[in-house]
């Protein structure tokens, strides 16, 4: 199928192509630097085209379907004046990439860092992130994950209200800024994953109805009409979004896509939309030699999401594992039960480590039905785990991070639980040093009625968790400004200690053979009492064995180590250098011998290393 969009060539000609299968006529209106109207030529498949020679790259343009009115291009690559104004031609050949040797990061080396471009720095731009890359690399981060950057209304938004999936947000720095960031990340050995939204389009600036049947009359989502992936004229819609995945890989060298709420995409066709996306991306990867990961946010607890197309699956490379977050969060925060009533038992964290999904067919109170299917046997590189992300923080009334809800020892054990898991870990910006600024939900719509609807919707959502009359207003600029993280505290006091703790854990994860394996056949857990857990991690060659001991309860837990085995201490969260008030330097790590019985205090986390090799599971 053909691709919609503008294709600026090195000879300075430009092909304009728009999909509008129900339209009888289409006019290309060039508005700058010269005002000119051009009748477009219809093509098969519902497309209209115009091929213009000697076109200035500064050209601004609209489309006019069936003599209605001027609209921006649905496949615009740049909206420099916002969602309601003209689209701009982009010359993708003009950027000088320096990443020709870049081939990506293997799954076992991925450590993902989710960030929001607008609040990651005071400047709120792509280029302002680049000076921070070395700091993140030194910490142990190997991949950035950017919250959505597709053009949204105004200059502050989470990004899930994007109205132009191909256009890079102008207030962040537009196409040039994103390319500079990706090139800079690759130069620092870091991949870039982009959060994209295919399940809906934002309400403001959304003029898709004027061009074609992009939306379904059969299905609905929490955000309104579902996108039309399986009804009449859906071929053009499927291509529009599937080609978008290729677009980010081809023109921006993006290494992976995180797909928002894949369960809100409905497709009863023989070739599911996600299979179609995967096919296109695999062909692109063969062309470039660079893999582009597909990562799902899924509320299905169904292993078909991450199974291959050959076995009837959607073919995602990985998915977010919410169950891990819920199981751990309720153990370290006493208020966790209010949000996750079906969690709270230590054996659920054990199941998250050993199998993946915690809910795998059991009755779930929050859903009032049986939910999920077992993911036991699916290897760890197919799951991404986290203690925090934009949703878990921003969907609280006051945007509290974990550092604002629990004490320092709880932050340490949470970091330990995350980074010794057999899964791909993800941090949320500022988590590594315990940033204490909130991360609120914010928007900058221009439609007053839409602003009222957003505010009302947020308050209704929060009402289940108590009085929210004083909740920050999403459209208030102060809500956005209060969400900008505080880099100035990262190297001070307890924040430096926590950052060093993360750095130590990430170094161990990178260098110790037992933590490098994402094979779940090489892990097993034992529960101790009501709140203790012993997690064993074995290397692929079985020469190395680590034992992580946790105590999530208020009483000391005693662990009896396997007989006939000598153990050394690798890491102990109770050591003086890991206390919030420690002012000295970190001592050299010593693998001190550990006795047969280990007492673990409340919220203490320990890693032991096997000193001989005569242990068996």
Please state, in angstroms and rounded to a whole number, the distance separating the CA atoms of residues 70 and 324.
Answer: 49
Report H helices in 482-570: 493-511, 513-516
Tell me the C-alpha distance between 59 and 61, whole Å.
7
- Dihedral sign of CA atoms 456, 462, 463, 468 in order: negative
> Is residue 216 helix, strand or coil?
strand
Looking at the DSSP bridge assignments, the partners of residue 294 are 257
Q: How many residues are given for the chain?
A: 617
Distance, in Å, from the CA atom of 8 to the CA atom of 554, rounded to the nearest integer, reads 64
Angstrom distance (rounded) from CA 402 to CA 410: 9
Burial class (CB in 10 A: 0-12, 13-18, 19+), 541: exposed
CA angle 227, 228, 232 (to 5 degrees): 165
Rounded to whole angstroms, the Cα distance separating 153 from 204 reads: 7
Q: How far apart are the first and last CA of the chain?
A: 54
Residue 555 falls in the annotated catalytic set: no
In three state form, how does the secondary structure of 332-374 look? Answer: HCCCHHHHCCCCCCHHHHHHHHHCCCCCCCEEECCCCEEECCC
CA–CA separation, 70 and 64 (whole Å) = 5
114, 230, 255, 260: which one is catalytic? 260
The counts of H helices and E strands in the chain are 15, 30
Distance CA 145, CA 116 (A): 9
Question: Of 326, 333, 298, which is closest to residue 313 (Cα–Cα)?
Answer: 298
Residue 297 annotated as catalytic: yes
Burial readout 123-142 (b: 16 or more C-beta within 10 A, e: otherwise): ebbbbbbbebbeebeebbbb
CA dihedral 236, 238, 239, 244 (to 10 degrees): 130
Residue in 267, 297, 431, 432 annotated catalytic: 297
Residue with tokens 């809910």: 359
Q: Label the pairing between strands 26-32 and 14-19.
A: unpaired
Q: Which residues are catalytic?
A: 260, 297
């Amino acid at each position: 199928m053909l691709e919609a969009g503008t294709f600026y060539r090195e000879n300075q000609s430009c092909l304009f192509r728009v999909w509008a299968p129900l339209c009888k006529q289409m006019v290309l209106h060039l508005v700058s630097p010269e005002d000119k109207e051009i009748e477009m030529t219809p093509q098969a498949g519902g497309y209209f085209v115009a091929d213009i020679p000697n076109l200035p790259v500064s050209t601004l343009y609209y489309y006019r379907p069936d003599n209605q009115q001027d609209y921006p291009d649905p496949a615009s690559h740049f909206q420099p004046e916002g969602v309601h104004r003209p689209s701009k031609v982009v010359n993708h050949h003009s950027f000088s990439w320096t990443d020709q040797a870049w081939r990506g990061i293997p799954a076992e080396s991925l450590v993902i860092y989710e960030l929001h471009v607008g609040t990651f720095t005071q400047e709120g731009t792509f280029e302002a992130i680049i000076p921070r890359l070395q700091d993140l690399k030194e910490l142990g981060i190997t991949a950035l994950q950017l919250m959505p950057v597709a053009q949204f209304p105004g200059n502050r938004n989470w990004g899930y209200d994007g109205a132009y999936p191909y256009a890079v947000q102008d207030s962040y720095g537009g196409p040039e800024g994103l390319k500079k960031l990706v090139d800079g990340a690759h130069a620092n050995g870091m991949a870039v994953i982009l959060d994209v939204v295919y399940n809906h389009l934002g309400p403001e600036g959304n003029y898709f109805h004027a061009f074609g049947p992009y939306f379904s009359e059969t299905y609905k989502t929490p955000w309104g009409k579902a996108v039309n992936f399986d009804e009449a004229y859906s071929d053009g819609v499927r291509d529009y979004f599937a080609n978008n995945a290729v677009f980010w890989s081809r023109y921006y060298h993006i290494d992976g896509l995180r797909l928002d709420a894949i369960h809100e995409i409905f497709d009863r066709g023989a070739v599911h939309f996600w299979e179609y996306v995967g096919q296109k991306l695999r062909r692109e990867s063969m062309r470039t030699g660079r893999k582009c990961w597909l990562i799902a946010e899924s509320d299905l607890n169904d292993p078909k999401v991450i199974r291959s197309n050959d076995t009837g699956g959607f073919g995602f490379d990985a998915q977010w594992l919410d169950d891990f977050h819920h199981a751990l969060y309720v153990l370290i925060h006493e208020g966790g039960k209010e949000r996750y009533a079906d969690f709270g038992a230590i054996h659920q964290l054990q199941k998250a480590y050993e199998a993946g999904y915690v809910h795998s067919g059991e009755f779930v109170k929050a859903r009032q039905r049986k939910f999920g299917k077992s993911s036991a046997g699916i290897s760890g590189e197919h799951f991404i785990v986290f203690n925090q992300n934009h949703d878990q923080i921003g969907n609280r009334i006051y945007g509290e991070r974990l550092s604002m809800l629990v004490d320092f020892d709880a932050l340490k054990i949470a970091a330990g639980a995350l980074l010794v898991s057999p899964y791909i870990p993800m941090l949320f910006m500022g988590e590594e040093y315990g940033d204490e600024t909130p991360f609120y939900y914010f928007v900058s719509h221009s439609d007053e009625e839409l602003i009222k609807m957003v505010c009302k919707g947020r308050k209704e959502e929060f009402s289940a968790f108590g009085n929210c009359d004083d909740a920050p207003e999403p459209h208030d600029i102060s809500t956005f400004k209060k969400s900008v993280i505080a880099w100035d505290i990262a190297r001070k006091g307890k924040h430096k200690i926590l950052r060093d703790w993360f750095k130590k854990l990430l170094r161990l994860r990178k260098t110790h053979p037992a933590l490098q394996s994402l094979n779940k056949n090489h892990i097993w857990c034992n529960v101790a009492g009501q709140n203790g857990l012993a997690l064993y991690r074995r290397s692929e060659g079985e020469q190395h064995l680590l034992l992580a001991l946790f105590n999530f309860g208020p009483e000391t837990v005693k662990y009896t180590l396997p007989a006939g085995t000598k153990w050394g201490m690798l890491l102990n969260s109770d050591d003086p250098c890991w206390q919030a008030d420690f002012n000295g330097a970190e001592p050299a790590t010593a693998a001190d011998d550990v006795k047969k019985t280990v007492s673990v205090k409340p919220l203490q986390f320990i890693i032991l290393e096997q000193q001989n090799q005569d242990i068996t599971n």
